[in-house]
Amino acid sequence: MLTEQDILEAIKDVKDPEIGKPLLELGMIRDIKVLDGGKVSLTVVLTTPACPLKDTIKNDVTEHLKGLPITVLDIQWNAQVTGRQGGVSQKKRLPNIKNVIAVGSGKGGVGKSMCALNLAIALSQMNVRVGLLDADVYGPSVPKMVGSYAHPDISPQKKLMPLNKHGLKIMSFGFLLSSEEPVIWRGPMLHGVINQFFSDVDWGELDYLVVDLPPGTGDIQLTLSTGYELTGAVIVTTPQAVASQIAYKGLRMFQKLGVPILGIIENMSFLACPHCSERVYPFGQGKTEELARNWTVPYLGEIPLVPEISALHDQGTPAATLPTYQSYFLETARRLAGQISVANFNFTLQT
Ligand SMILES: Nc1ncnc2c1ncn2[C@@H]1O[C@H](COP(=O)(O)OP(=O)(O)O)[C@@H](O)[C@H]1O
Ligand SMILES: [Mg+2]
């Protein structure tokens, strides 16, 4: 007579391919039911939405159950984005926001804002709740990219309401500015703005909050990394040596401040020929991937240089909302979601 215990025993060594720990230990197998006639059903609760490794998990589970007298195996799937659990920290953890992901770079103009926005959109296309905070107070570019400069509404609780667009909740310093005046605030004032972005914006419940940072390693980066528990940082770079050298400084800053590096994205990686779709790599192929290996951080993927992407963003249409470009961002976002699960698991292990 087949029992639940037999199932548990048979699959005890099946690991999550990304985290490298047994599914059972991670609490990812639920609702095991053994019915009459050898029918078995169970639910796998994935820690990332649209997990690219679903098939691997399915095959592994099926393989491990082969020796048992099972007539029908019914595997159900579910996803529950995890946040950091456990641990005592000096840094502030936001109760309603499971994961805060900082998107940084060394150099300006490498497409950090473009990547932050489109990654956020790609994550939201996986049916999870995503916010985007444009924390580039010196040059907020999100309002232009999403085609809205409207001042935010104020809720009855006197909170700023984020803009709902492209499946995201969006807040930008640009929504609060009334003119094109340059921002000449000093460190302590910037500190206040960042805190307000967290405490005075009605974000609701979010699985991921993507934060678009200004270039470099300044006050905003410091306030955010020392004041708040970040799940990790994503570094955007272009394949030129100058850009990657400065990107490395950004990366080291996050590491020194105890922020895990979730991965590196190579933007403006290649040109796709409009006639034959052959890829041309003007700065050499695979450079950032190699750097990521040397720096022992994950590589998340590459985004092509497409003139239309620039034009679209100037008109308020993010590339990830269009089928032509969606796949580039979806692939990168899937890998990012995987690395977020890994970072959360590692954090729990250490604490
Ligand atoms: N992959 C790309 N293809 C075409 N244009 C791009 C690409 N990435 C960024 N851009 C354009 O380059 C400019 C700088 O990008 P932005 O995201 O504002 O950079 P950053 O935030 O790093 O300063 C913008 O005009 C943007 O539309
Ligand atoms: Mg920017």
Model confidence pLDDT, tens digit, residues 71-84: 999 999 998 898 98
> How high is the pLDDT of residue 162?
97
Give the atom of ligand 1 at the shortest distance from the alpha carbon of 236.
22
Q: Judge if the beta carbon of residue 145 lies within 6 A of ligand 1.
A: no
Rounded percentage of the chain residues whose pLDDT exceeds 70: 96
Rounded mean pLDDT of the chain?
91
Contact 302, 335 (CB under 8 A): no
Taking the C-alpha atoms of residue 299 and residue 264, their distance in angstroms, rounded to an integer, is 5
Lowest mean pLDDT among 49-58, 145-154, 194-203: 49-58
Give distance in angstroms: CA of 111 to centre of ligand 1. Answer: 4
- pTM of the complete model: 0.91
Q: Judge if the beta carbon of residue 316 lies within 6 A of ligand 1.
A: no
Whether the predicted pLDDT of 88 surpasses 90: no
Residue at token pair 């390693």: 217
Give the atom of ligand 1 at the shortest distance from the alpha carbon of 110.
22
Listed in order, the ranges of the chain carrying CATH 3.40.50.300 are 97-335
Lowest mean pLDDT among 257-261, 272-276, 326-330: 272-276
CA dihedral over 17, 345, 217, 183, signed as positive or negative = positive
Give distance in angstroms: CA of 211 to centre of ligand 1. Answer: 16
Name the fold adopted by 4-79. Answer: GMP Synthetase; Chain A, domain 3 (3.30.300)
Instruction: Read off the pLDDT of residues 314-324 as tens digits, 9 standing for 90 and up.
Output: 999 999 999 99
Instruction: Read off the pLDDT of residues 92-118 as tens digits, 9 standing for 90 and up.
Output: 988 899 999 999 988 889 999 999 999
Give distance in angstroms: CA of 109 to centre of ligand 2. Answer: 7
Whether the predicted pLDDT of 305 surpasses 80: yes
146 CB-side CA count, 13 A: 29
Q: Judge if the beta carbon of residue 267 lies within 6 A of ligand 1.
A: yes
Say which CATH superfamily domain 97-335 falls into.
P-loop containing nucleotide triphosphate hydrolases (3.40.50.300)
Whether the predicted pLDDT of 188 surpasses 80: no
Give distance in angstroms: CA of 60 to centre of ligand 2. Answer: 43
Give the atom of ligand 1 at the shortest distance from the alpha carbon of 115.
17
